[in-house]
Amino acid sequence: MKPETLWAWAALVAGLIFLSPVLYTIWISFQTVDAYYSGGAHFTLENYAEAFGQYDFVRYLWNSILVSGVVTLGGLAMATMAAFAFARFTFPGGDFLFAAVVATLMIPSHITLIPNYLTLAKVGLLDTYAGLILPAISNGFAAFFLRQYIRGIPRALDEAAYMDGARPYQVLWRVIVPIARPAILSMGLYIFISEWNNYIWPLVAISDQDLYTLQIGLARLYKENPGEDVINWPLVMAASTITILPILFGFFLVERHLVRGITMGAVK
Amino acid sequence: MHSRFTPYLFVLPLIAFIAVFTYIPIVTSVNLSFREWDFLSDNKPWVGLDNYRLIMSSNEFWNSLRVTAIFALISVPLRLCLAMAIASYLVREALPQRLLRGALFLPSVTSTVAIAVVFSWLFATDYGIINAFLAMFGIPKVYWLQNPQLALWVIIIVNTWKQLGYDIVIYIAGLQAIPQELYDAAAVDGGRKRHVFRRVTFPLVMPTTYFLLVISVIEAFQVFTVVDVMTKGGPAGATDMLVNMLYRVGFTLFDIGMGSALAVMLFILLIGLAIFKSRVLGRKVHYEA
């Protein structure tokens, strides 16, 4: 065998070993409990039926999609607007405000936990979708990243549009957003993934089971399964797979997106 | 063309949300840290530094600080060494390297809760695959998560498995930025592999190492999820991190004053580290060749 091929096989094997906990999880999620405890193999979809049905994971899945989706869209909208202003306008206080946005990158989120809980309790938003979404929606990193990106776009494009009588919001929407789309897209994926995996805030803000996200639902299912030795592991693994899978799909999408970006850059 | 209010309108939503949910909470936390409050009663009497004194004199706090520090001291160097070693093998842009990079990166974007659940199962005392594997060699049951000597190590393994891919990706970017001429020059001088690594690669990825070092220490001090799912801080406080203690004090004991004081202390520690980072990185730890 050529050393190249050998390398490829070695890489594949190493990758599979590294990911074996995930692969094993998916495998067990399709096994019956009896098969699992007796060491056999018996394919079934029952664990998924049980997780989605009896244990309400359809609901948690929907909650996760809704919350992460709104946080992503809202976060991107706010970040893009602010990034545009910081990149293109000089205005009194602009530098200070930008510094305040960048400084949020250094602020550890745990300091806001108790106060945000109290704020939401005061306005009656605990145990609501809004309570999950609002504290998570501002994203200083996205604003900073997009501002850097927009600064790289030639100003002449803006000016041409202004000459044609465009208003600032039209310049943003028609000129900047289309050009900055790769950057906006990758920030969107970043926000979506972080919010999807967010655990501590929903844990604090939600006690109503109907509003559980997948992360809370999975943690509860695992912890509340009675008895250390009689845990229904195939069911828990099905729930884990449900929690991981959307991000796995997203991951392959990002990979392709990245590859496309690289090859496009090479062709230009 | 546009009024002078235009830029303010564009930044207003972001600034408003940041003010309400990030900056005002810092002030609120500081204020509440000087008060006694159980979340329910109407008055919140000012108690000065009592909450801080109480924390400083509690064994619970010193235990959490010690556990968190040990966790950071072991897991951060472990991650960086592994990541640097693996990254230097995966730096080439060929298919096997890219595939392996993808595999290693995957856990860092997947759910921490799911990973914690899966590893609880792998490390389960009965029917856990790791104990089953050890049993093949006649090794008796190991109580991974029930043994105070071992539980923290399991947490470190899980955290390393999850975060390693991120470190590797950052290291690869750092390694790819090193000019090829330096390696060529080293090859001309007949440099041995180990020598080239010590004299060229290692010093030149120093900025990346500093960056990763500081952000992973900051991250290590905020670990919560893995511990909350796998051990709840147990057994006997052996894995009780600072944020787990904060959560317990604030949201199960509802001691808002003490929880806030703990949050402020952790905040000062982490902001100190963050400022240190921007100072060091601001000066750009560069080794011009």
User: Does B288 score more than 60 pLDDT?
Assistant: no
Quick check: is A113 in a domain? yes
Q: Could you write out the DSSP letters of every residue in A155-217?
A: HHHHHHHHHTT--HHHIIIIIIHHHTHHHHHHHHHHHHHHHHT--HHHHHH---GGG--HHHH
Classified as helix, coil or strand, B248 is: helix
The confidence band for A217, taking pLDDT boundaries of 50, 70 and 90, is very high
C-alpha A79/C-alpha A184 separation (Å) is: 9
CA angle (B166 as vertex; A61, A213 as ends), nearest 5: 15
Percent residues over pLDDT 90 in chain A: 60
Out of A100, A104, A199, whose CB is closest to B225? A199
Mutation target to probe the B interface, by most B beta carbons within 10 A, among A34, A114, A120 is: A114
Quick check: is A11 in a domain? no
C-alpha A57/C-alpha A257 separation (Å) is: 30
Over range A30-58, report the average pLDDT. Answer: 85
Backbone φ and ψ of A198, nearest 5°: -60, 135
Classified as helix, coil or strand, A43 is: strand
- Tens of pLDDT, residue by residue over A140-179, are 999 999 999 999 999 999 999 999 999 999 999 999 999 9
- Residue ranges of the domains in chain B? 1-30, 59-112+142-282
Q: How far is CA B199 from the centre of its chain?
A: 29
Over range B175-181, report the average pLDDT. Answer: 82
CB contact under 8 A, A82 and B10: yes
Q: Classify residue A136 by its DSSP letter.
A: G
Are B201 and B57 in contact by the 8 Å Cβ rule? The answer is: no
Out of A14, A24, A204, whose CB is closest to B251? A204
Residue of A nearest to B272 (CA): A106
Q: Return the pLDDT at A44.
A: 86
Q: Return the pLDDT at B282.
A: 57
Q: Return the pLDDT at A224.
A: 81
Over range B204-216, report the average pLDDT. Answer: 86
Listed ranges A121-125, A244-248, B178-182; the one with the highest mean pLDDT: A121-125
Q: Return the pLDDT at B283.
A: 55
Percent residues over pLDDT 70 in chain B: 96
Give me the CATH number covering residue A203.
1.10.3720.10
Nearest to B110 by CA among A244, A198, A15: A244
Residue B99, chain A, CB below 8 Å: the answer is: yes
Mean pLDDT taken over chain B: 88
Q: Return the pLDDT at A18.
A: 93
Q: Return the pLDDT at A256.
A: 57
CB contact under 8 A, B263 and A240: no
CA distance B251 to chain A (A): 7
Count chain A–chain B contacts defined by CB atoms under 8 A: 231
CB contact under 8 A, A215 and B113: yes
Over range A33-51, report the average pLDDT. Answer: 83
Mutation target to probe the A interface, by most A beta carbons within 10 A, among B2, B98, B117, B214 is: B117
Instruction: Pick the range with the lowest mean pLDDT from A238-242, B39-43, B75-79, B246-250.
Output: B39-43
* Number of domains chain A contains: 1
What is the extent of the structural domain holding A164? 57-267
User: Does A262 score more than 50 pLDDT?
Assistant: no
Are A242 and A263 in contact by the 8 Å Cβ rule? The answer is: no
Nearest to B18 by CA among A121, A136, A115: A136
Nearest to B142 by CA among B152, B130, B153: B130
C-alpha A137/C-alpha A117 separation (Å) is: 15
- CATH number for B59-112+142-282 (one of 1.10.3210.10, 3.40.120.10, 1.20.120.530, 1.10.3720.10): it is 1.10.3720.10
Mean pLDDT taken over chain A: 87
Quick check: is A25 in a domain? no
User: Does B146 score more than 60 pLDDT?
Assistant: yes
